[in-house]
Amino acid sequence: MERFFFISVFLLFFIINITFAFPLSTDSRWIVDDGNKGRRVKLTCVNWPSHLETAVAEGLSKQPLDSISEKIVSMGFNCVRLTWPLYLATDESFSGIMTVKQSLRKLGLLEALSGFQANNPYILDLPLIKAFQEVVSSLGKHRLMVILDNHISQPGWCCNDNDGNGFFGDKHLNPQLWIRGLKKMATMFANVSNVVGMSLRNELRGPKQNIKDWYKYMREGAEAVHSVNPNILVIVSGLNYETDLSFLRDKPFEVSFRRKLVFEIHWYGFWSSWEGDNLNKICGRETENIMKMSGFLLEKGFPLFVSEFGIDQRGNNVNDNRFLSCFMALAADLDLDWALWTLAGSYYVREKTIGYDETYGVLDWSWSSIRNSTILQMISAIQSPFRGPGLMETHPKKIIFHPSSGLCIVRKSLFQLKLGSCDRSESFRLSSQRVLSLADEKILCLKAYEKGKSVKLRLYFSEYYCSQWKLLSESKMQLSSITKKGESLCLDVDSDSNNIVTTSCKCLQGDASCDPKSQWFKVVTSTRSRFKAKPFLNVSPYYKKFLQEPLSVL
């Protein structure tokens, strides 16, 4: 009986989590649903490319469409950013007439063709645009939200400065044609409730880019989409490969509609070197840069959607791993909406390579299993919201997040702490005397002993019994305390036991090869209660079961 109750509670939280009332709109910096309370909907999407030469969603030669949708759900994502090339909507001969089979054949992709025959035969003879709708419909059946992203004009891998798709006026970016394409797609999906947003254009770039045309055409595009589909979120990107919205600080982006505007950015580790300097310094600098280029928009009352970030899923790319920890800290702190690049384990053809293996893909080459579950587990820490409208389950509290593992500080025993799931996170308060104590049991405070030893919770009789803590280094993520012997120690994690210990503070400056990540802790505001709302890998069987039952049963 008790167990049954437990499972029902889990299911209940899933329903609350995933059955949003559409359409979505914005409430200052949050995206919210249409319920009378306007509950926060956190977009935690994965990108599914459908804009390469074939103009067909990738992977359909490897796995049945519904089984891919199911995998997306089981990995804890709630939405897909589905990319499309403009010509799919504007070139009739291309989208309305050419079938999937013809498109694959034209490109000589015979192996993909036979894979398609085996896995998705009913899609092969559909015109390209119908095949695209089929994908959206499968995602909808699995209760996944969809964001349509106009990724490029001419189907193919994106992007470089001179590919003719970069900015208004380039060979393949005629503004009027673009607006016509946006309108066509917005209309086509106007009554499809799980299509919740449209990214107007991916990664504007190149020599022609300028702010004046940006305001003019982005406004026209935004108004065009809204005029034919007033339900949809209109998602607007900036300049320089979706990194720069800084010009909005001085001159707002004015549109005629309200509560539908979202801004988007991209952030990749390979855009800069994360290895050439002290990592604390790099993370501090890059974070500051993001805030300056786009992060300030949150304070101005707009949602900011990181619609692409990602890392090499083989896990051995030092630059990417460094980036990811820094990214996770900011994403948790600001509780951002995001879309991971990418779902695709492989492409039919990319940059002339047939069956191209995508090492940034969460799925493996055959689209059958997860490429690296360690990395996915880590990212799952930011799949449920920490805070936002309607999520006030407890008073705002501070939890301590460990970005390089995706875990939080939890209780191991009465007086001991370890890393564990953020859903079981202890909440803390930092007093004006810099004493860190438990928010719910204020009589317990954090005490550092010696290098290499566990920190312990102690009874807080007076400050003398507690350590005083402060944030060190340019990343501002190292929590340090000075021991009785005068040693400065930092919170760290014992890699064998996951216990919270103190060790000598690492890499405070200099030394590019020094790695402080295990000592990084981010103090994050959360209103999530404990043991709740956990769209996590190991709960997916329950979720799957729920999907098979009609809603009214529950």
Ligand X SMILES: *[C@@H]1O[C@H](CO)[C@@H](O)[C@H](O)[C@H]1NC(C)=O
| Type of residue at 263 | F
Beta bridge partners, 45, equal 79, 339
Question: In the complex, what is the shortest distance from the CB of residue 269 to ligand X, in angstroms, rounded to a whole number?
Answer: 13
Nearer to ligand X, 233 or 378 (CB): 378
**Residues recorded for the chain:** 554
Nearer to ligand X, 114 or 369 (CB): 369
Round to whole Å and give the CA distance between 135 and 548: 19
Question: In the complex, what is the shortest distance from the CB of residue 371 to ligand X, in angstroms, rounded to a whole number?
Answer: 7
Nearer to ligand X, 183 or 398 (CB): 183
Nearer to ligand X, 314 or 545 (CB): 314
Instruction: Give the containing element (helix H, strand E) for 424.
Output: none
| DSSP state for residue 414 in the 8-state scheme | S
Neighbours of 84 (CB within 10 A): 27
Beta bridge partners, 408, equal 401, 420
Nearer to ligand X, 401 or 546 (CB): 401
Phi, psi of 64 (to 5 degrees): -60, 145
Question: In the complex, what is the shortest distance from the CB of residue 383 to ligand X, in angstroms, rounded to a whole number?
Answer: 18
Question: In the complex, what is the shortest distance from the CB of residue 226 to ligand X, in angstroms, rounded to a whole number?
Answer: 14
Query: Which 3 state secondary structure label does DSSP give 281?
Result: helix
Nearer to ligand X, 373 or 503 (CB): 373
Beta bridge partners, 152, equal 85
Question: In the complex, what is the shortest distance from the CB of residue 493 to ligand X, in angstroms, rounded to a whole number?
Answer: 15
- Note the residues at the interface with ligand X (CB under 6 A): 187, 190-191, 314-315, 321, 372, 374-375
Phi, psi of 261 (to 5 degrees): -95, 130
Contacts of 550 (CB under 8 A, 6+ apart): none
Phi, psi of 262 (to 5 degrees): -130, 145
Three-state secondary structure string covering 481-548: EECCCCCEEEEEECCCCCEEEEEECCCCCCCCCCCCHHHCCEEEEECCCCCCCCCCHHHHHHHHHHHH
Nearer to ligand X, 300 or 314 (CB): 314
Query: Which 3 state secondary structure label does DSSP give 213?
Result: helix
Question: In the complex, what is the shortest distance from the CB of residue 313 to ligand X, in angstroms, rounded to a whole number?
Answer: 7
Q: Which position's Cβ is nearest ligand X?
A: 315
Closest CA to 426 of 402, 448, 449, 390: 402
Nearer to ligand X, 115 or 345 (CB): 345
| Type of residue at 349 | V
Question: In the complex, what is the shortest distance from the CB of residue 223 to ligand X, in angstroms, rounded to a whole number?
Answer: 18
Question: In the complex, what is the shortest distance from the CB of residue 449 to ligand X, in angstroms, rounded to a whole number?
Answer: 30
